[in-house]
Amino acid sequence: MDILSMLQGQLSPDMVGQLSDHVGASPEQTTQAANGIFATLLGGLANNATSEGGLSALSAALDRDHDGSIIDDVLGMVGGLMQGGDGLSKAANGSGILGHVLGDRQEAAAEQIGQSSGLNMGQVMKLMPILAPLVMSALGKAKSSGGLDLGGLAGVLMGSAQQAQQQTGMGDLIGSILGQVMGGNQNQAQPSAGDMLGNLLGGMLGK
């Protein structure tokens, strides 16, 4: 089950058009930034889930707040958030989700995504809380529809994060972002995206 493909499938021309108008960017730039945000959040979730407690907390949050219904009305949710409706529900609380997944590394991630997409950091920061609920909703939908236990959830995260890493032009970006999310020293050589995800997700599946 590929969460990244599910998320990319939500990037309809109408949705990309709304997001592009919201941040003042071209559809191509917005799509590239959205893909970077999706991949970054999947990597961040994989990082957080490398501990048994983190994986259990993620599973509980999905059961409690993210049933996947947002995916069924993406344009409605996005429109509400762009009108200042952040916090309509826990499922749509993009700022809260970002805080849990990326913590104080949100600006570092936004800067890296901006460099890849051509947007500035401020534009990416406007997109992140709008798109974050989609990632959790997609995971929640996958968990409920597939009846996933903790091991199954870990496997879905691994496969989706690896898919993100393998996409053309995104590997180095994800590796850099994951290094910063994990608190790596930027003055040291960062592991490749493949090595980074291998370490994160191998540890997660080894629980």
CA 162 to CA 67: how far, in whole Å?
Answer: 24
Look up residue 79 and give its two tokens. 């429109």
What pLDDT does residue 97 have? 92
SS (H, E, C) the chain: CCHHHHHHCCCCHHHHHHHHHHHCCCHHHHHHHHHHHHHHHHHHHHHHCCCHHHHHHHHHHHHHHCCCHHHHHHHHHHHHHHCCCCCCCHHHCHHHHHHHHHHHHHHHHHHHHHHHHCCCHHHHHHHHHHHHHHHHHHHHHHHHHHCCCHHHHHHHHHHHHHHHHHCCCCHHHHHHHHHHHCCCCCCCCCCCHHHHHHHHHHHHHCC
- Note the pTM of the prediction, 2 decimals: 0.81
Angle value at C-alpha 74, between 69 and 77, nearest 5 degrees: 85
What pLDDT does residue 37 have? 92
pLDDT tens for 145-170 read: 888 888 888 888 877 877 776 764 55
What pLDDT does residue 172 have? 66
Least confident of 9-18, 65-74, 190-199: 190-199
The sign of the torsion formed by the CA atoms of 15, 71, 98, 159 equals negative
pLDDT tens for 171-200 read: 666 666 556 555 544 444 444 445 545 555
Look up residue 9 and give its two tokens. 């499938």
In terms of residues, how long is the chain?
A: 207
CA 101 to the chain's CA centroid: 8
Residue type, 133: P
pLDDT tens for 77-109 read: 888 777 765 445 778 889 999 998 888 889 988
Q: What is the dihedral of CA 116, 128, 148, 67, to 10 degrees?
A: -150
What pLDDT does residue 19 have? 95
